[in-house]
Amino acid sequence: MTAAWWFATWMMLATRSPQPQTLGDAIQDANAGKFAMAWTIGSTLASPLERTQARVYVLAHAGQLRAALAETNGGIALGLHDPWLLERSCALAISLREPELAQQRIRELSRFVERQDGGGTWGPAVAEHEPRLAELVERRRALSGASVRARTCVAVLGGLLLSVLGMASRLGGRGSRKGPP
């Protein structure tokens, strides 16, 4: 038996766990703050849905919210229309102040609730997000309103100034002195 054979055998034993690791293991490690380990476990899961769920869970618990949202979006774009992913995507979008995406996710989640869930599990989640989402939408509306006001004001006052400038320069040429000789 060659050294290469021994090395290959050791590698096989070292890399193969006695039992396949699960989504639960990834979650457990993430909860224990072992994020790199949890990520590695999550990335090796066979099911694309569980892989995405594990990664989202790990990233969100590690405070990497934008990366977690990117992961949920990636999963949903792959056709993984899972209520947990939709709910997480909605929550993350609200945290990152993205009302349009949060609204879209809450619509998708509501459709799921109507069709399959019957309001049991995911209905309260939808209800929980709605007030924060409404607040966010209102804020976005205020933002757009302020933007329109600012641009309109600049356009109106700018136009007014230009007209005054034009008038003053034309009238200035025709002015006649009325003062004392």
Partner 1 sequence: MTTAQRIPSGVVLAALAAGGACTMSIELAAVRVLAPWFGTSQAVWTNVIGVILVALSTGYLIGARLSSGPTPLRRLGIALLGAAFFTATVPFQAERVARWFLPHGLALDEAATLLHWGSLAAALVMFLPPALILGLCPPLGAEALQRARLASAGAIGGVVLAVSTLGSLVGTFATTYWAIPTFGLRATFAACAAVLAILGIGLCWIEQRRAIAIGGAIGMALTCVVESPAVSMPSGHRLLEARESRYQSVRVVETEELGAPTRKLQVNEGLDSFQSVWRPEPGLLPPGYYYNYFAPPAWLSPRAQRWRVLVLGLGAGTAWRVLDGALPPGCRLESDGVEIDGAIVQLGQRWMDLPGSRAELRAWGDWDGRAALVGLPGPYDQIVLDAYANQTEIPAHMASVEFFREVARRLAPGGWISINVGGFGLDDPVVRAVAETAAEALSARVLAISVPFSRNCMIYARRGAELPDPAEGAWTTGEARIDALLAPCAIPGTYGFFTPGGDAVLYDDRNDVERRQRTSLARGKTLP
| Residue 141 CB, nearest approach to partner 1 (Å) | 9
**Interface map 117-136 toward partner 1 (x if CB under 8 A):** --------------------
Q: Are 61 and 31 in contact (CB under 8 A)?
A: yes
Stretch that binds partner 1, among 18-26, 109-117, 120-128, 138-146 (CB under 8 A): 138-146
Q: Are 51 and 35 in contact (CB under 8 A)?
A: no
- Residue placing its CB nearer to partner 1 in the complex, 26 or 113: 26
| 179 is a site residue for partner 1 (CB under 8 A) | yes
| Residue 33 CB, nearest approach to partner 1 (Å) | 5
Q: Are 43 and 53 in contact (CB under 8 A)?
A: no
Residues 16-75 that bind partner 1 (CB under 8 A): 33-36, 39, 58-59, 62-67, 69-70, 73
Which of 44, 32, 36, 42 is CA-nearest to residue 64? 36
Q: What tokens does 15 get?
A: 């890399």
The separation between CA 119 and the C-alpha centre of its own chain, rounded to angstroms, equals: 25
Dihedral of alpha carbons 17, 18, 22, 27, sign: negative
| Residue 108 CB, nearest approach to partner 1 (Å) | 16
Q: Residue 22 — φ and ψ, nearest 5°?
A: -120, 175
Burial of 46 (0-12, 13-18, 19+ CB in 10 A): exposed
- Residue placing its CB nearer to partner 1 in the complex, 9 or 149: 149
Residues lying near partner 1 in the complex (CB under 8 A) are found at 33-36, 39, 58-59, 62-67, 69-70, 73, 93, 96-98, 101, 139, 142-143, 145-147, 149-151, 153-154, 157-158, 161, 164-165, 168-169, 171-172, 175-180
